[in-house]
Amino acid sequence: MASANDQAKLFSNEWPTTEELEFFEKFARIDDRTDLIRNTSHTLKMPPCRVVFKNLDQLPKDQPLQHHIGRIFDIFIRSTLKRAEGDLEFTEYWLNLQHPAYVEKDGFWIMHQTYQKANGHTLMNIISKHSQSKSELTLDETLILSMKVFKTDVFQGRGGRLPDTILVIQRGVYI
Per residue, what are the HEC states of 81-140? HHHCCCCCCCCEEEEEEECCCCCCCCCEEEEEEECCCCCHHHHHHHHHHHHCCCCCCCCC
pLDDT digits (tens, 9 = 90+) for 21-52: 999 999 999 998 888 998 888 899 999 999 99
Q: How confident is the model at residue 134 (pLDDT cuts 50, 70, 90)?
A: low
Phi, psi of 19 (to 5 degrees): -60, -45
pLDDT for 157 beyond 70: no
Q: How confident is the model at residue 2 (pLDDT cuts 50, 70, 90)?
A: very low
Of 88 and 105, which is predicted with more confidence?
88
Give mean pLDDT, residues 10-14: 79
Q: Are 74 and 121 in contact (CB under 8 A)?
A: yes
Q: How confident is the model at residue 130 (pLDDT cuts 50, 70, 90)?
A: confident
Give mean pLDDT, residues 72-92: 94
Per-residue confidence (pLDDT) for residue 83, from 0 to 100: 93
Q: Are 85 and 143 in contact (CB under 8 A)?
A: no
Greatest distance between any 2 Cα atoms in the chain: 74
Domain segments of the chain as ranges: 4-170
